[in-house]
Chains A and B, each alone.
Chain A
Amino acid sequence: MTAPTASDLAAAALATAAPSDADTADAIAQLADVAGHASTVLFNWRRDNPAAADVDRALNLEMTLDQRAIDLRGKAVKLLGAQAADAIAQIQDAAQKVDTFLGTVKKTGDRLAIASAVVGLAGAALVGDAGGVLQAVVSVHGALKDARA
Chain B
Amino acid sequence: MSTRSRAARPLAAIALALLGGCAAQMQPVADFGAASSHLATVYKPFTSGLAASCEQRERYMALGNPGPFDDAATDRAASAKCQALREAGATAALFGQALADYAGALAKLSGARPTVFDGEIKGLSGAAKGLATRDGTPIFDSGKLGAATRIARAAAALLTEAKIETLKRSTLEDNQEALRSVVEAMKSYAGKVYAGQLTDTREVMRGELGRLVTASNAPTQADVEARLPWRWAQTAARADIAANELEARRVRAFDKSADALLAAHADLIANFDKIDGARRLELVAAFVAQVQAINDDAAAL
B241 to chain A, nearest CB (A): 14
Residues of A within 8 A of B188 (CB): 22, 25, 29
Q: Is B255 an interface residue (CB 8 A)?
A: no
Q: How far, in whole Å, are A24 and B136 apart by their CA atoms in the complex? A: 13
With A21-B141, A43-B204, A75-B138 already in contact, the answer to whether A29 and B88 are too (CB < 8 A) is: no
Residues of A within 8 A of B192 (CB): 25-26, 29
Q: Is B125 an interface residue (CB 8 A)?
A: no
Residues of B within 8 A of A36 (CB): 196-197, 199-200
Check if A70 sits within 8 Å of B54, measured CB to CB: yes
Interface residues on A, range: 20 to 34
Check if A37 sits within 8 Å of B84, measured CB to CB: no
Check if A25 sits within 8 Å of B207, measured CB to CB: no
Residues of A within 8 A of B143 (CB): 21
Which residue of A21, A28, A43 is within 8 Å of B207 (Cβ)? A43
Residues of B within 8 A of A70 (CB): 54, 81-82, 84-85
What per-residue 1/0 map shows which CB atoms of B201-236 lie under 8 Å from chain A?
Answer: 001100110010000000000000000000000000
Residues of A within 8 A of B197 (CB): 36, 73
What per-residue 1/0 map shows which CB atoms of A55-80 lie under 8 Å from chain B?
Answer: 00001001000110111111111000
Chain B residue total in the interface (Cβ 8 A) = 32
Residues of B within 8 A of A25 (CB): 138-139, 141, 188, 192
With A73-B138, A76-B137 already in contact, the answer to whether A44 and B200 are too (CB < 8 A) is: no
Q: How far, in whole Å, are A134 and B276 apart by their CA atoms in the complex? A: 56
Q: How far, in whole Å, are A36 and B197 apart by their CA atoms in the complex? A: 8
Q: How far, in whole Å, are A36 and B82 apart by their CA atoms in the complex? A: 13
Q: How far, in whole Å, are A87 and B58 apart by their CA atoms in the complex? A: 31
Q: Is B87 an interface residue (CB 8 A)?
A: yes
Q: Is B65 an interface residue (CB 8 A)?
A: yes
Q: Is A107 an interface residue (CB 8 A)?
A: no
Interface residues of B (CB under 8 A from A): 50, 54, 57-58, 61, 64-65, 81-82, 84-85, 87-88, 135-139, 141, 143, 188, 192-193, 196-197, 199-200, 203-204, 207-208, 211
